[in-house]
Structure 1
Amino acid sequence: MKRFPDRSEAERAAQSPFLSTFTTSPAFSETSRYGNFRFTFPLTELMEAYKNQKCDGQEPVLRVFGTRLFKQEIEYVVLVHSPQSDEQFRDIPLLTSTSSPVVAYDRHQITWKAQAICETHHFQLETSGKTVEIQNKHPFQFYVWDHVSFVFHTKGMLTFPKKKLKASLSCLDLDPKVNLSCGENCSSLEAAKSFLKTLVDDEDGEEHA
């Protein structure tokens, strides 16, 4: 912990975990606002697929598309496009290692410098010797939460092998407060897991994502 760089091993062991108490925004939630199922891909894998399928093997271009403000949410939007579309998006600033205080792009690496990782909460950290403790704080503290969205400019969808898509698919409980899903949801997490088991692997087929 940077606050106590000279702590001994015993002092480190005495520190109780606390990060999960503060990482409570939807960006870190194990529940879903968009239905029972979620595809999870490493961003590098999506970029590689976009590079090969939409950029003729050239490196994609990333730009700072904008910031969207909501009542309790800040969304930073990054545009990803092929080099062939440079003229179309030339007025939008490129995303580099220094062009944004929140998101950085350098040597194929994306860095998100999260500014707000929790929603409304009533905790604060108190220093006690060379450890920190979680203390209840009243009244409630209201915060906005932030996240980064990557928008891929394309006239058609990316394709992945069906087996890869199934391996990237997971089941989640629905967020009890916010439902942004379109269509029907499963009656429970167990029902979603049962449905997932019915999907058949197809190593040769491809699906859009």
Structure 2
Amino acid sequence: MERVNARNVVETYFEGKHLRLSDLKEEDIDHRYLFRNDIPAYPESVEFQVQKLSHVTGRYGLEGIFKDSGFRQPSDTSHFLWWALSVSPDDIRSAEQRFLASLFPNTQIYNPQPFLEYFTTSKAFQKESPYGNFCFTFSFRELLYLYGDQFCTGTPVLRVYETVLYRREILYTIVVHPRNIHLYDSYPRLPNTGDGVCGYRDGNIWWHCQAPSETYWHRLNVNRRNSSVHVTTHKEENYVWDHVCVAFHMEPGWVLHVDQGRLFKRVNVCGVSRPCLLKHPETPLSLHKAKNILINLKASMG
């Protein structure tokens, strides 16, 4: 199904499903990049285990968060407070070891040179963001506790919400909601194990990343004789990339409260990547200016 989102961009979406790359290719979709068959070999279905989520905003969003001492839905037309997976270098190194173990089970693996960093180049792994200069980072476990404590009777519910396909992007969304909100009863529960796209277990979101790069300049070469891999250069090829976001259900007027001391500990500045998706009156800032705004905000609040 298709719709036009708030940014006037056409989306192809599938409700209540997290469709793998192979599943999407079986759908009746006219798509320039999804069906390319000349992409060089790369690490497919790498399992990342991610503890932290990030929420990025502009200057006015930053000031609003500190004014409210927390996070609210961005408009009355949206029920959601959005967070993205925050994949750390340690998460990438751990995923690399799991990938090697899956390639060469029951084998002593000797691979001294990191290789996954050549392929984890999409926006899902970048420090910059198209949504602003101010990045709040929390553990998912902490967010679930805060959300459950403030809005839920019992623990929040996690569900598979949608797969959304754009021109060169696949977005998998997870919805989190209180048990007494029944808007999402038809959506399946998020799994804790399995070979699906993503799930939640023991404080971690596990994610089987299928397309880690937007643009490929390298090829993965697997040497099964000595149980190792190495990377060679390749001509530039463009493809889709995939990522996971978490949408917390928010009713009008709800604020996910966080004390200001904790907010200051959780916020850092970042660069704004292209295409910039900030909405007026927000504008991208230099890192120097963003840092000064954060310093002055902290000083003004004592």
TM range (shorter): 0.7 to 0.9
Question: Which of 161, 171, 191 is 1:96 aligned to?
Answer: 191
The C-alpha deviation readout for 1:56-114, integer Å capped at 9, x for no partner, is 3x1111111111110111111111111112x4322222222358710123455432221
Say whether 1:19 aligns with 2:131: no
Instruction: Tell me the amino acid that sits aligned with residue 148 of structure 1.
Output: V
Q: How does 1:115-154 map to 2 (within 5 A)?
A: 115-127=210-222, 131-138=228-235, 140-154=236-250
The Cα shift of 1:142 comes to 2.2
- Alpha-carbon separation, structure 2, partners of 1:99 and 1:131: 27
Q: How does 1:58-77 map to 2 (within 5 A)?
A: 58-77=154-173
TM-score (norm 2): 0.59
Higher alpha-carbon Rg: 1
Say whether 1:181 aligns with 2:283: no
Question: Which of 22, 31, 34 is 2:128 aligned to?
Answer: 31
Q: Secondary structure at the match of 1:46?
A: helix
Q: Secondary structure at the match of 1:49?
A: helix
Instruction: Tell me the amino acid that sits aligned with residue 68 of structure 1.
Output: V
- Alpha-carbon separation, structure 2, partners of 1:31 and 1:101: 28
Q: Secondary structure at the match of 1:16?
A: coil
The C-alpha deviation readout for 1:25-55, integer Å capped at 9, x for no partner, is 1010011211111111111111111100000
| CA 200–146 in structure 1, closer or farther in 2 if over 3 Å, else same | same
The Cα shift of 1:130 comes to 5.0
Query: Alignment length, in residue pairs?
Result: 194
- Alpha-carbon separation, structure 1, partners of 2:158 and 2:195: 12
Q: Which moved more, 1:87-96 or 1:17-26?
A: 87-96
Identity of aligned residues (%): 34
| CA 186–64 in structure 1, closer or farther in 2 if over 3 Å, else same | closer
- Alpha-carbon separation, structure 1, partners of 2:232 and 2:117: 14
Any unmatched runs of 5+ in structure 1? 204-209
Instruction: Tell me the amino acid that sits aligned with residue 111 of structure 1.
Output: W
Q: Secondary structure at the match of 2:147?
A: helix
Say whether 1:6 aligns with 2:105: no
Question: Which of 208, 214, 223 is 1:113 aligned to?
Answer: 208
- Alpha-carbon separation, structure 2, partners of 1:52 and 1:35: 29
The C-alpha deviation readout for 1:104-160, integer Å capped at 9, x for no partner, is 23455432221211111120123465543321112x222211111111112112010
Say whether 1:40 aligns with 2:142: no
| CA 100–55 in structure 1, closer or farther in 2 if over 3 Å, else same | farther
User: Contact 1:36–1:185 (CA<8 Å) still a contact in 2?
Assistant: no
Any unmatched runs of 5+ in structure 2? 1-99
Q: 1:199 matched to which residue of 2?
A: 297
| CA 107–141 in structure 1, closer or farther in 2 if over 3 Å, else same | same
Instruction: Tell me the amino acid that sits aligned with residue 169 of structure 2.
Output: E
Q: Secondary structure at the match of 1:51?
A: helix
Q: How does 1:147-166 map to 2 (within 5 A)?
A: 147-155=243-251, 156-166=254-264
Q: 1:53 matched to which residue of 2?
A: 150
